[in-house]
Structure 1
Amino acid sequence: MSASEIKTQSVYRPEQQVQGSAYRPAVILQVLPELDTGGVERGTVDIARAIVDGGGVALVASQGGRLERELDRFGARHITLPLKSKNLFTMRRNVDALVDLIRAEGVDIIHARSRAPAWSAYFAARKAGIPFVTTFHGTYSGHNNLFKKRYNAIMTMGDQVIAISNHIADHIRKFYKMDPARLNIVPRGTNTDLFNPENVSQERLIALSNQWRLTGEEYVIMFPGRITRWKGHCFLIKALPAVFEALGHRNVRCLMVGSDQGRTAYRDEVLALTRKLGLEDIVHIVDHCADMPAAYMLADVVACPSIEPEAFGRIPSEAQAMGRPVVSTAHGGAMETVLPGETGWLVTPNEVEQLSVALTQVLRLTPEKRAALAQKGRKHVIENYSLTQMAEKTLAVYEKALKGAIRNAA
């Protein structure tokens, strides 16, 4: 079936499908290295669901991972390919495998979310004659290295290019030459039904409190995120002694919620700093948490102290959706998602005193001010960073890509 026979609205407006017509749902193939954990993976699954909910056909190709089961549950399909590999011979074989898949499944768009699979997807799309869409998820290193810059540039070579924040869009404009008409800003979306304080039961809170040995009497500073240097764990730890001094007590727990993903040397460094400052009873690395909505509900403040800019940063958005105040560093995506003084606080990276003061101010909030901040934060996310908005904007990008293919075929 040719591109002109595709009714693109059927992907997300199934009620507009024409009975008995030649139109059919679009088939969208997303490609990424693996489907384990992280923002890229989560966004892929969310968009696959939006495609299915809209009457389209959602395919995802990757090396696999634990999110495969979630795709199966809502009717998307996973195809296992070695797309995590950066070996040139494997990437070349992936081109042929993707071309075969495109032709066998009648794929209308291939959407690449990472650089190595994007190179394979680009050549497969050109061979098969279908639109190529990319999502630029990060700033990527190597701007001064011609080889790495060329490798990274594949993410700007889509017929339509999605930037996950204004911060990333500005980065693309600064370092890469591309037609601005192809650039679309689609912020990451938060599931505001999942991240809704009204949907977290008391039983879930009790279970997690018991697991983490919380009494309910202490302040909880929560830092969700992978245990990796640029996230700023040591920055946060250094700020804690001044918080205790300002409060006049140490009845505080600082919970670092996230896996080290094999970065044991940095984890050891974090623990060593904790011991040096005498904070072993305060700071706890609790590894992966399967119930983050309940985790946020246990927090008095959510800290996002990254020392390098986040491309978007889902934690501030999720925390605000849960009505939790956020203290984040003033760069990257947080400059867009956090409203200073209204839904959270922004501090200069590595300025320990600023971070201490901000954390203290949040912990001293009156119940009335905390309630007002919670209401404003949730409203802000629903209006600007919901999963629904991300899905609608992404599907609109697909429609643009398909219309471009129709024009080119005419």
Structure 2
Amino acid sequence: MKPLKVLQLLPALDSGGVERGTLEIARALVSAGHESVVLSKGGRLVEQLQREGSRHIARDLGRKSPTTFLQYRALRRLFEQERFDIVHARSRMPAWVAWLAWRGMPAQTRPRFVTTVHGMHSVSRYSAIMCAGERVIAVSDTVRDYIRTNYPPSRWPHLADERITVIPRGIDPAEFPRDYRPSEEWLERFRAEFPQIGQRKVLTLPGRLTRLKGHHDFISLVAKLVGEGLDVVGLIVGGEDPKRPGYAKEIRERVQTEGLGERIVFTGHRSDVREIYAISDCVLSLSSTPESFGRTVLEPLAMGRPVVGYAHGGVAEILGELFPHGAVAKGDVEAAAKRTADVLTNRTPAARPNDRLLLERMQAQTIELYRSLHAI
């Protein structure tokens, strides 16, 4: 088959799930002999993208300003010059500019247009652009249901079910292998950096310090387990949100006020999250709003580490498939503490092996969608 030429668009290439997914598809395209191009304003991941064989076009289409829309003419010229087979928009503002450029081209010569709904944005005309693709990828059943509920075909006739394809995100088993154990050197360094851990049972809450991630519930859970005589330490693994420094200060002050300074550790942003999962006796997911997927639940479960979490959104899907005992109702800290205690006292079954939510499968399904759409 003729190789495809695929353009992915997103605001920047710094960090995050959308950026990671973009690089994963770019890598798969190159590996399969296709031409991969990514358009963004740039960022620290550009070097990796290019090293892995893709081309990067620097253009800022992510700034939420009326002037950004005016770039559609220049983008249309780029489409005409490059003759992409597929244009894949992954974020709202770049999707708007790409759609304005694309719709003004002759149907016979324009590329095929794909969008991915990565998250459950506020429902609006602005957000609806993520459902404008000739094919719309939903990263979970939760996201598909969100699309069906909020953008029904009665109001959005083009969004019939045949246009929506669920392609769950996946992980690489080689990156998060089952029963992985970190090196003695790493363990020694980590315990020296955080001596509060000692020989205690380790509970981990991954995620940036934002209010939605449930840090207050985590603090309450740790306090309850300590009060019941369990020797635990809680790791809050994630960097502060530079836009909301007050929240980080708030939860740090609560930890001190409640006398939990030796029981709750703030690690900041870490690049060794795999090793942290490996030493965790239980990982928690306590987000107050539903996640579209739940990578920080899938990663430790794939490694065989138990996870207790609020069963809504994509987290409910993953727990239901791999570790049903870890699912509790949203906001029920008492139930989460009880399930965590069950985990710590070996009263739960092991997590089931992950044989479906795999990176290779996600890559193959996405490229097959490109091929099938291009063939129409």
Q: TM-score, normalised by structure 2?
A: 0.91
Contact 1:188-1:385 at 8 Å conserved across structures: yes
Contact 1:208-1:295 at 8 Å conserved across structures: no
C-alpha separation in 1, matches of 2:341 and 2:198: 18
Q: CA RMSD for the aligned pairs?
A: 1.9
C-alpha displacement at 1:83, in angstroms? 1.8
Q: How does 1:348-367 map onto structure 2 within 5 Å?
A: 348-365=329-346
Partner of 1:307, secondary structure, is: coil
C-alpha displacement at 1:162, in angstroms? 0.3
Contact 1:136-1:156 at 8 Å conserved across structures: yes
Matching residue's letter, 2:20: R
Partner of 2:256, secondary structure, is: helix
C-alpha displacement at 1:207, in angstroms? 3.3
Contact 2:196-2:262 at 8 Å conserved across structures: no
Relative to structure 1, the CA distance from residue 344 to residue 124 in structure 2 (aligned partners, 3 Å threshold; closer, same or farther) is farther
Percent identity between the two aligned chains: 37
C-alpha separation in 1, matches of 2:149 and 2:221: 34
Matching residue's letter, 2:305: R
C-alpha displacement at 1:351, in angstroms? 1.4
Partner of 2:38, secondary structure, is: strand
Matching residue's letter, 1:391: Q
Q: How does 1:201-240 map onto structure 2 within 5 Å?
A: 201-213=183-195, 216-240=198-222
Greater Cα offset, 294-303 or 270-279:
270-279
Partner of 1:208, secondary structure, is: helix
Relative to structure 1, the CA distance from residue 243 to residue 162 in structure 2 (aligned partners, 3 Å threshold; closer, same or farther) is same
C-alpha displacement at 1:236, in angstroms? 1.2
C-alpha separation in 2, matches of 1:341 and 1:292: 20
Contact 1:320-1:343 at 8 Å conserved across structures: no
- Residues 153-193 of structure 1, C-alpha deviation per residue, up to 9 Å, x if partnerless? 10111000000000010010001031111000011111211
Instruction: State the match for 1:19 in structure 2.
Output: none
Q: Which has the higher helix share?
A: 1
C-alpha displacement at 1:215, in angstroms? 5.1
C-alpha displacement at 1:125, in angstroms? 2.4
Partner of 1:338, secondary structure, is: helix
Residue 314 of structure 2 corresponds to residue 333 of structure 1: yes
Q: TM-score, normalised by structure 1?
A: 0.84
Relative to structure 1, the CA distance from residue 345 to residue 199 in structure 2 (aligned partners, 3 Å threshold; closer, same or farther) is closer
Q: How does 1:91-106 map onto structure 2 within 5 Å?
A: 91-93=69-71, 95-106=72-83
- Residues 362-397 of structure 1, C-alpha deviation per residue, up to 9 Å, x if partnerless? 11117xx6xx615x2xx2x2x111101111111121
Instruction: State the match for 1:292 in structure 2.
Output: 273
C-alpha displacement at 1:202, in angstroms? 3.6
Contact 1:85-1:91 at 8 Å conserved across structures: no
C-alpha displacement at 1:334, in angstroms? 1.2
Contact 1:205-1:297 at 8 Å conserved across structures: no
Instruction: State the match for 2:90 in structure 1.
Output: 113
Relative to structure 1, the CA distance from residue 327 to residue 276 in structure 2 (aligned partners, 3 Å threshold; closer, same or farther) is same
Residue of 153, 159, 163 corresponding to 2:138:
163
C-alpha displacement at 1:339, in angstroms? 3.2
| Number of residue equivalences | 364
Q: How does 1:120-159 map onto structure 2 within 5 Å?
A: 120-128=97-105, 129-141=110-122, 143=123, 149-159=124-134
